[in-house]
């Protein structure tokens, strides 16, 4: 059996569908780490049972690109987190939310900006969406700085069920910006 093609690829990263063997490294490096998980969804590290449920129900296992996948560093082959667009209706439209959750060992290396840029381009390009959203906990200064560096703009703050208060950031597709400028 051949491996499924990557969901997204950047110069240093591969975003791909999750495989059963990915659970242990993802749990050890990301899902069980309170520093990493403090701003993810409801916040806090996951115990093994909750992590297994998250792994099974949240991540893309079939390579469809409809849910987040696992993020792998090309140079080492090391699994460093999870990322990828997921459906989002916080602004009452069928939007896609980009996201990235990285192991501490991958922080401050430009990986969030790299995979974030690729996701925005994918959502507003090949997927044809007029905009991409990102949600960040108000206290998550690192992610907010990354979203702003990607050119996303603050849209609102919303209390999201199961996630708490989130700042909503928006990136408008280039074609939509061109239309707005020419009007």
Could you tell me whether strands 86-88 and 69-73 are parallel, antiparallel, or unpaired per DSSP bridges? unpaired
Query: Which of 16, 143, 20 lies closest to 72 in space, CA to CA?
Result: 16
pLDDT in tens, the chain (183 residues): 455 678 999 999 999 999 999 999 999 999 999 999 999 988 899 999 999 999 999 999 988 888 999 999 999 999 999 999 999 999 999 999 999 999 999 999 999 999 999 999 999 999 999 999 999 999 999 999 999 999 999 999 999 998 999 999 999 986 654 434 334
pLDDT (0 to 100) of residue 178: 41
| Cβ proximity of 139 and 130 under 8 Å | no
| Cβ proximity of 74 and 142 under 8 Å | no
pLDDT (0 to 100) of residue 64: 83
Instruction: Give Cβ neighbours of residue 100 (< 8 Å, ≥ 6 apart).
Output: 71, 81, 82, 83, 111, 112, 115, 116, 119, 143, 146
CATH architecture designation of domain 8-182 = 3-Layer(aba) Sandwich (3.40)
DSSP-assigned letter for residue 126? T
Q: What is the Cα Rg of the chain in Å?
A: 16
DSSP-assigned letter for residue 58? H
What's the predicted TM-score (pTM) here?
Answer: 0.91
| Cβ proximity of 95 and 88 under 8 Å | yes
Query: Which of 118, 108, 32 lies closest to 71 in space, CA to CA?
Result: 118
- Other Cβ atoms closer than 10 A to 178: 11
How far is 125 from 146, CA to CA, in rounded Å? 20
How far is 26 from 18, CA to CA, in rounded Å? 10
| 165: helix, strand or coil | strand
How far is 2 from 72, CA to CA, in rounded Å? 18
How far is 102 from 28, CA to CA, in rounded Å? 12
On the 0-12 / 13-18 / 19+ scale of CB atoms within 10 A, 124 is buried
């Amino acid at each position: 059996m051949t491996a499924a093609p990557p969901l997204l690829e950047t110069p240093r990263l591969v975003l791909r569908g999750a495989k059963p063997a990915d659970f242990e490294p993802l749990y050890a490096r990301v899902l069980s780490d309170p520093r990493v998980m403090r701003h993810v969804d409801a916040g806090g590290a996951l115990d093994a049972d909750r992590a297994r449920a998250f792994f099974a129900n949240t991540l893309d296992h079939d390579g469809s690109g409809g849910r987040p996948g696992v993020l792998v560093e090309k140079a080492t082959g090391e699994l460093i987190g999870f990322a990828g667009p997921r459906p989002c209706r916080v602004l009452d439209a069928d939007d896609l939310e980009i996201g990235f959750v990285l192991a501490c060992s991958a922080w401050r290396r430009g990986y969030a900006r790299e995979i974030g840029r690729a996701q925005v381009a994918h959502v507003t390009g090949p997927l044809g969406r007029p905009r991409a959203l990102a949600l960040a906990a108000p206290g998550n200064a690192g992610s907010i700085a990354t979203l702003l560096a990607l050119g996303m703009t603050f849209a609102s703050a919303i209390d999201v069920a199961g996630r708490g208060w989130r700042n909503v950031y928006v990136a408008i597709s280039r074609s939509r910006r061109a239309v707005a400028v020419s009007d």
